[in-house]
Structure 1
Amino acid sequence: MAELANYRPHYVTREDRADGTILLRSGYELSEFVEKTSDWLHRWAELRPDTVFLAERDGAGWREVTYAAALAEVRAIAGGLLAQRLGPDTPILVISGNGVDHGLLTLAAQYVGIPIVPVAEQYSLIPGAHAQLRHVLGLIDPRMVFAVDGARFAEALAMPEMEGRLLVTSRNTGAGQTAFAELRGDMAGVDEAAAKVGPDTVAKILMTSGSTSSPKGVLTTHRMMCANQAQLADALPFVRENPPRLVDWLPWNHVFGGSHNFNMVLANGGSLYIDEGKPAKGLVDTSIENNAMIGGTISFNVPVGFAMLRDAMRENETLRQSYFRDLDMIFYAGASLPQDVWADLESMAREVRGDVPLMTSSWGLTETAPACIIQHERIDRSGIVGVPMTGTTIKMIPDDDNRYEIRVKGPNIMPGYFNDPDKTRDAFDEEGFFVTGDAMGFVDPDDMNKGLRFDGRISEDFKLTTGTWVRAAQLRLDLLVALAPLVADLVITGEGRDQIGLLVVPGPGLAAHVAAGDDGAGAVVSDAVREALAPRLTALASKAAGSSMRVTRAIVMAEPPSIADGEITAKGNLNFRKILTRRRALLDRLYDDADPAVIRS
């Protein structure tokens, strides 16, 4: 466990321009960083050869791979990839989720300069989502496709678009597939290919969520990932002193799990225990078991995941002791952590160990590798994303009172999108800052060291017919906290209308009443649902500061959002535009006061 003082204090410099633009930078210097991910692997194979690097469940125990074994495996696999004539222009597509073989293949490809492209496994496992997989295949045109299980992914691997590609599977290898174990080759050419890999070599291509357009391929270089780990360690020096041990489920097709968390372990000689669970009914039990077996030093999760662990720890003493015993940091992302969950985790930590680990968050995007802003001082509430990381410049362009559009520049920013020069050009301003589309505000406009707070996506803002602007992204985050556990997610409506409404994805507090209230036309008509939700909405409306924050109506959706129909992105987020388009009839019903499904506030 890190000493409480081992969290670097904030130190921000500010430059004001005549047009109101503000530039923020860290007052600390960016530490030196390695040139490529293989430098990390070689270092720890030499200094900590017998330390577990990657592990996954294997029956009652774990399949564990040490740093020394990982380096040997990575070099052998790299030789096999070169023998298959793979190179910088022949990407490898990974269609299955996190796993030891997936990790070794990723590092082997990066070792010799072959881009790796991980995508959400739902694209393959849900037949209705195969359109998204076809889009990626058409965009990337991979020479090789990897799936951990040939039988489980058989339908996707048999798609006509897979013809002519090298199909590799770890187990249940079928006809036309190559076993992963057979991929290993000799060392011929490995060192020569590795010598050509440098900071600007593309290590991976990460697909954006596609919530506002077709998914784009973000070119992610070794420099981006290596610099970002130095930036994180500059802010959180304990990761260098106490090698991270993670029990982590966050998917590697997303930059948070696959670049931020995976590389934090590798960069600092830590251990990653791959959690096959997820914060969802029927899957969270696996996460609970894994966390009880292996206590981590850092816990990364989304707010609903922390809430589920909190609930389990109330009754499970073994889990509570294992979870908090060595914990240096609790790190949430995706949305603000509800204050009741925050307070409960603090209380449990004090009960187990007498103090509280750092509880924090940060901000970044796929295009930024991802971390650009981080809260590395202690605070007592969620919703603050922090201050600029070393080597990063934050450009803040005034949008409204204490609201700024955010643009960023630094060594962790992408060079562009794969095979898309037009979108690449549009992504940067005249000074070379990446245009994020996100908005921020100061926690304290008179003290930059108090940090920034997220204030929504400018692209999601809309106007009511009254001319009032609605900051939909921030309003949604506030409502998710206020309406939990009745609501799992929300779509904010009102563009082209005179009032704000909600399309509600029911949470556990409403789930028992949904099926019985399904009216067969996409909505829930239920007195129990109305009695639960209406008082909350009425109370919120009475406190709203104006029409830009006042919700007047809601409909609970009987049909959950569908990934097959594009209503859920690869990151698990709602695709608001797709939902509003696909459920146009339900949106019209929401503004019909005579409709029995409408819940008024």
Structure 2
Amino acid sequence: MVFRSSFPDVEIPDVSLHELLFGDLGDRADRVALVDGASGASLTYGQLATYVDRLAAALAARGIGKGDVVGILSPNTPYYAVVFHGILRAGATATTINALYTPDEVAHQLHDAGAKMLFTVSVLLPNAAPGAAKAGVTDVFVLDQADGYPSLAELLANDHPVPSVEIDPAEDIAVLPYSSGTTALPKGVMLTHRNLVANLAQCGPLLNLTQDTRILAVLPFFHIYGMQVLMNNGLYVGATVVTMPRFDLAEFLRVIAEHRTDRVYIAPPVAVALAKHPLVDQYDLSPLKTLFSGAAPLDVELADAVRKRLGCRVSQGYGMTEMSPVSHAIPDSRDDISVGTVGLIVPNLECRLVDPATGEDVGVDERGELWCKGPNIMKGYLNNPDATAATIDDEGWLHTGDVAVIDADGIVSIVDRVKELIKYKGYQVPPAELEAVLLTHPEIADAAVVGVRDEDGEEVPKAFVVLQAGSSISGADIMEFVAAHVAPHKKVRVVEFIEAIPKSASGKILRKDLRAREAAK
């Protein structure tokens, strides 16, 4: 059974992302596009468009164009948008890198993506510089200032001609974020210009954004959620996007109060602070009208506590990097839909629910793995046809790995996960990556990682470890070892020693047995 959106299909413009956002600024040119929440410095739409063209010209003069990849490793700032869209304006592809990555992780993504250049900021150079060097990337630029590194300002001061680039929206890759998909190591997700343009158009009927909307962008632009739902969608509708480089509760509350942001996007851990922390009462949060949660499930009782305390609307949606990313959302116009659901299917998207055991479609009010098909589905994983084929079948259905239920009104609820990916505070943590790190330790004979709930109900990575004979290493030692090799959100937070890792006849880790072991405690 195929489920379709209750909204009519929308027109998907056959243009590049740059043309969609900057092709005709009209009366937006003098309006403020982006604001630095800390300093108040801003860029108008006209300034942003000019800087994007200037950067594209500078990149083209350095030989960057179609088929090339440029990395961005930076926290949120108005100039992130300049770099991101300057790369695309030059016809190249942006690969956005987690600002918390270690040098090895930076190197892996730059090398795997085939990046020729990296943009970063001075505070991240201790990780960016060695990562770039290891990947063979010699052209490193900073968005601010750092001795020995050319700056974005220098690039923007050029007088080269703006390149004329022919973009095939359906084929040319605009952005290459990295996602773990269902189980494996991070893979480059090839999102075309059409994928990104389509998802902006698809979100329009559900999200009531206007030029008067003021969006708080604390969720990172390197993540597809921040990149598309906050940055690009804000620019698409002509709104004002107020950036924050990282989450700090006091600063978060100050920015809402002082910059009068009426639409705030979060991941569930922020909702906990908003519901419980006494600091919240010290700020005027009356400008806040809509709090939208994504990246991980939001508890209904927690959402209700936030709604009552702040007097704002609380909503949530669902998506994946592989879907550019939004496939479902609670429409702003539907206060009757429970925040315990992920709302309705976006226009131009088809969904199926498939029994993982039988492969047969299931119907209304029945549980099944969610499959999706539409113009926002990725082109595939970079240089990984096997992983692509395992995720998108021959008929174009993307298998999300999440179990859902769709009721008679078309309202979708995510109820379980087929996939093994751990979601820690909205960030993807692939068990296979942590297992690979664990197995490099000379005193570890075998290891497996699964997600478990901590005392706050947050899913955290737990390592089951088999030690080499005679080893006396402690769980704390193991957690410290892993922490030295991965970004903070990927750290192992619980360790249990066991005699053997349960595996199938083919050698695959039986994570369900480990989860059953946890459930029995």
Q: What TM-score range do you get, normalising by the shorter chain?
A: 0.7 to 0.9
Which amino acid in the other structure matches residue 173 of structure 2? V
Match of 2:10 among 21, 31, 48: 31
Shift of 1:319: 3.0
How far apart, in 2, do the equivalents of 1:258 and 1:331 lie? 15
- Check whether the contact 1:320–1:348 (CA below 8 A) recurs between aligned residues: no
How far apart, in 2, do the equivalents of 1:36 and 1:66 lie? 21
Aligned match of 1:137: 110
Which amino acid in the other structure matches residue 489 of structure 1? E
Shift of 1:33: 3.5
- Check whether the contact 2:182–2:420 (CA below 8 A) recurs between aligned residues: no
- Check whether the contact 2:76–2:243 (CA below 8 A) recurs between aligned residues: yes
Q: What is the correspondence of 1:171-570 to structure 2 with a 5 Å cutoff? A: 171-175=144-148, 177-184=149-156, 188-193=160-165, 195-196=166-167, 198-209=169-180, 212-236=183-207, 238-239=208-209, 241=210, 243-278=212-247, 283-312=248-277, 316-322=281-287, 324=288, 327=289, 329-350=290-311, 356-357=312-313, 359-376=314-331, 377-379=334-336, 381-399=338-356, 402-442=366-406, 444=407, 447-449=408-410, 451-460=411-420, 485=456, 487-491=457-461, 521-522=474-475, 562-566=482-486
Aligned match of 1:42: 22
Aligned match of 2:444: none
Distance 1:310 1:393, change over 3 A: same
Shift of 1:388: 1.6
Which amino acid in the other structure matches residue 419 of structure 1? N
**Equivalent residue of 2:355, what SS?**
strand
- Check whether the contact 1:57–1:274 (CA below 8 A) recurs between aligned residues: yes
Shift of 1:137: 2.3
- Check whether the contact 1:247–1:299 (CA below 8 A) recurs between aligned residues: yes
Aligned match of 2:438: none
How far apart, in 2, do the equivalents of 1:45 and 1:80 lie? 23
Q: Do residues 585 (structure 1) and 494 (structure 2) align?
A: no
How far apart, in 2, do the equivalents of 1:87 and 1:135 lie? 22
Shift of 1:406: 1.5
How far apart, in 1, do the equivalents of 2:37 and 2:369 lie? 44
Shift of 1:373: 1.7
- Check whether the contact 1:93–1:117 (CA below 8 A) recurs between aligned residues: yes
Aligned match of 1:17: none
Aligned match of 1:167: 140
Aligned match of 1:54: 34
How far apart, in 1, do the equivalents of 2:115 and 2:376 lie? 25
How far apart, in 2, do the equivalents of 1:49 and 1:244 lie? 16
Listed one character per residue, the Cα deviations across residues 178-202 of structure 1 (whole Å, up to 9, x for unaligned) are 2211112656552522x44634321
- Check whether the contact 2:58–2:160 (CA below 8 A) recurs between aligned residues: no
How far apart, in 2, do the equivalents of 1:197 and 1:166 lie? 27
- Check whether the contact 1:75–1:187 (CA below 8 A) recurs between aligned residues: no
How far apart, in 2, do the equivalents of 1:561 and 1:440 lie? 37
What is the root-mean-square deviation in Å for CA atoms of aligned residues?
3.4
- Check whether the contact 1:277–1:286 (CA below 8 A) recurs between aligned residues: no
Which amino acid in the other structure matches residue 110 of structure 1? L
Distance 1:42 1:339, change over 3 A: closer
- Check whether the contact 2:255–2:261 (CA below 8 A) recurs between aligned residues: no
- Check whether the contact 1:561–1:567 (CA below 8 A) recurs between aligned residues: no
Match of 1:146 among 95, 110, 119: 119
- Check whether the contact 1:384–1:452 (CA below 8 A) recurs between aligned residues: yes
- Check whether the contact 2:72–2:96 (CA below 8 A) recurs between aligned residues: yes
Distance 1:200 1:234, change over 3 A: farther
Distance 1:242 1:68, change over 3 A: closer
How far apart, in 1, do the equivalents of 2:34 and 2:355 lie? 45
Shift of 1:302: 1.1
Distance 1:77 1:255, change over 3 A: same
Aligned match of 2:443: none
Shift of 1:341: 2.9
Shift of 1:164: 5.3
- Check whether the contact 1:364–1:372 (CA below 8 A) recurs between aligned residues: yes
How far apart, in 2, do the equivalents of 1:133 and 1:181 lie? 24
Aligned residues: 460
How far apart, in 2, do the equivalents of 1:104 and 1:586 lie? 51
How far apart, in 2, do the equivalents of 1:397 and 1:152 lie? 44
Shift of 1:303: 1.4
Shift of 1:107: 0.7
Which amino acid in the other structure matches residue 192 of structure 1? S
> Taking structure 2 as the reference length, what is the TM-score of the superposition?
0.79
Distance 1:313 1:112, change over 3 A: farther
Distance 1:419 1:189, change over 3 A: farther
With 329-338 and 366-375 compared, the bigger mean Cα shift is at 329-338
Which amino acid in the other structure matches residue 327 of structure 2? C
Distance 1:210 1:370, change over 3 A: closer
How far apart, in 2, do the equivalents of 1:599 and 1:111 lie? 51
Aligned match of 2:434: none
Listed one character per residue, the Cα deviations across residues 54-111 of structure 1 (whole Å, up to 9, x for unaligned) are 12145xx311000011111111111001001001222111122222222101111111
- Check whether the contact 2:52–2:86 (CA below 8 A) recurs between aligned residues: yes
Identity of aligned residues (%): 20
**Equivalent residue of 1:438, what SS?**
strand
Which amino acid in the other structure matches residue 46 of structure 2? A
Shift of 1:29: 2.4
- Check whether the contact 1:522–1:586 (CA below 8 A) recurs between aligned residues: no
Shift of 1:381: 4.2
Structure with bigger gyration radius: 1
How far apart, in 2, do the equivalents of 1:381 and 1:29 lie? 22
Which amino acid in the other structure matches residue 219 of structure 2? L
Shift of 1:398: 2.3
Match of 1:77 among 33, 43, 55: 55
**Equivalent residue of 1:459, what SS?**
coil
Which amino acid in the other structure matches residue 285 of structure 1? A
- Check whether the contact 1:30–1:234 (CA below 8 A) recurs between aligned residues: no
